[in-house]
Amino acid sequence: MRTTIEITDEQRAALLALAARRGLRGYSAIIQEAIDFYLKAVEKGRARTKASLKLQGVLTDEQAKKMRQEIQTLWTRWRTG
């Protein structure tokens, strides 16, 4: 299916350069690959969110408090440089 999209001059130049490196005449295949990648990433994010929401209420208040304290302790030990 053909469609029109708006891209910047810089994006077009980068797509043409990538297509040339891959030995392609145009960049349609690259756009299709990018769309597939994006759609899969969105679906994975939704699946992770759904799985996370199923865990809601699994821990007791005491378990949750202990976990928060342990996470806070780990954060204070985290090296940043």
When divided into structural domains, the chain yields a total of 1
Chain centre to alpha carbon of residue 69: 29
pTM over 0.85: no
- Is 48 within the bounds of a domain? yes
Q: Which domain holds residue 24?
A: 9-77
- Is 1 within the bounds of a domain? no
Q: How do residues 24-81 score in pLDDT, each as one tens digit?
A: 999 999 999 999 999 999 999 999 999 999 999 999 999 999 999 999 999 998 887 7
Residues in the chain: 81
The closest of 11, 10, 37, 16 to 28, measured between CA atoms, is: 16
- Is 69 within the bounds of a domain? yes
pLDDT (average), residues 9-19: 98
pLDDT (average), residues 2-14: 97
Distance CA 49, CA 57 (A): 15
- Is 65 within the bounds of a domain? yes
* pLDDT confidence of residue 30: 98
